[in-house]
Chains A and B, each alone.
Chain A
């Protein structure tokens, strides 16, 4: 049987219950007073012993009747109080029972058992809504906790590996009584590389934690100027790798509200990747243009590209298409995660278009600062 939504609410049920209790009380009062009056309302006059006149006897009967009516009414009031209190107690207990259930389950759930859910069974009422909302919140919390746990595991894995490399190299040499100077030099080199790796990783981890705090951006950044700076900054590295940087700024000014340090980090990171994964004698294009109220920044390379199945996860922390190649090129697996977070902090989006062997294009879209005078 289909019941209108409003009839499923606690408010409706409470209204019906109250009305029912009030009706019962009303009936009780009416019955009680009616019966009370019938039996005690008409007090008989005292027996005629000749000492009192008829008027006196009638007056005495009326006085006793009034007294009886008062008593009946007082009893009725007391009865109403008792029945009303008992009814209210039972009623509120009935209505509040699910609240108790939900509260006790919620109290049991702590950070260690976020997998548990209230899973409230019952009509689609306010209580169900509350319990479901709570469950949704738990699911989000659980996801965040899991993500954090995974991140810490991944980060510790990344930190332990260079330590293991350095430690093993040192200990193997220590045990080798015939170790030559060449061996020592090799181990020194390995230790240096491991320390470099730890250094890069700790810097990137720190940067990631800073950008994840979502700092407010204060100043106006002129994208054309920023791209010019970045292209100059990477010019020498690109030349060394036999690559050319093709800068295509917009003819209009492109002001964006933001933090120049973080935006330089984000776009610089994309250019750095483009250089690392490009084949010699190709060009890297950095361009910017205005599209209605948005600024579109593109970093395009003709490098090795990113396979389709990796594109979904490329912005995930510690995800690498080719671990060994990334490592050899000094990658930490955090670069694109940092880029994405910075872009999101600037209310922007980042998109990747790529195919294996066909190069990659990263497109950052940022909202244009409307009030140029500021």
Chain B
């Protein structure tokens, strides 16, 4: 899942990004509203963590423009202003959720998961495809109740495929949603990670869980 953190306080933005990356999300940072709009135009983010008090372009305006072009991207607003009218106007402009500063990081993670869940087909907190079970909260993966140890990257790939189960996902799409801007990678790395993931799944009995559609991508 690819996330854009938009926050002008550098130390805060960096910490949020680090915490989200530790959870396996691919995270980019924008330090002002204009940069955020530029980055949103280039990449397809699953979620934007958006501060309201931004230089150059106000957070509300960023929110409005995001909603104009894409209804899929989740928006979690983040601000130190906590009056009910601020929250109402934020949600009315198209934010999915609202968190006031200072916040507890586990709560931010829970809200991020809740918004990402809304996008998918299932509202269940645990992803299930056949006997494969994935818990994004605890970052654990099971097949027939046996835990499979995955790296954060492998977990992220599997999560994206499970959220899009039954649909062909191209290598480029995986690259876009699982890796961030800093990772200067090519589809070759996607292949390597998918290969490792398959080997682990095969080893646990989930043989051929991920199939390759020649020239198009992967399908779960």
Contact = CB atoms under 8 A, between A and B. Distances in A.
Contact of B8 (A160, A175, A324): A324
Contacts of B101: 160-161, 163-164
Given A164-B12, A164-B102, A171 B80 contact: no
B11 A324 contact: no
B84 interface: no
Interface residues of A, number: 22
B88 to A, nearest CB: 16
B29 to A, nearest CB: 14
Nearest to A190: B11
Max chain A CB contacts within 10 Å: which of B55, B102, B104? B102
Given A153-B81, A193-B11, A194-B11, A168 B22 contact: no
A165 interface: yes
A2 interface: no
A323 B106 CA distance: 29
A172 interface: yes
B30 to A, nearest CB: 13
Interface string B1-42: 000000011011001101100100000000100000000000
A153 to B, nearest CB: 7
B106 A171 contact: yes
Interface in A116-165: 153, 156-157, 160-161, 163-165
Nearest to B108: A168
Contacts of A175: 19, 22, 105-106
Interface string A321-336: 0111001000000000
A165 B9 contact: yes
A172 B102 contact: no
A183 to B, nearest CB: 9
Nearest to B54: A323
B204 interface: no
Contacts of B22: 172, 175-176
Given A172-B22, A175-B106, A324-B55, A165 B15 contact: yes
Given A157-B80, A168-B102, A169-B15, 10 more contacts: A153-B81, A160-B102, A161-B80, A164-B80, A167-B103, A168-B16, A168-B103, A169-B11, A172-B105, A324-B8
Interface of B: 8-9, 11-12, 15-16, 18-19, 22, 31, 53, 55, 80-81, 83, 101-106
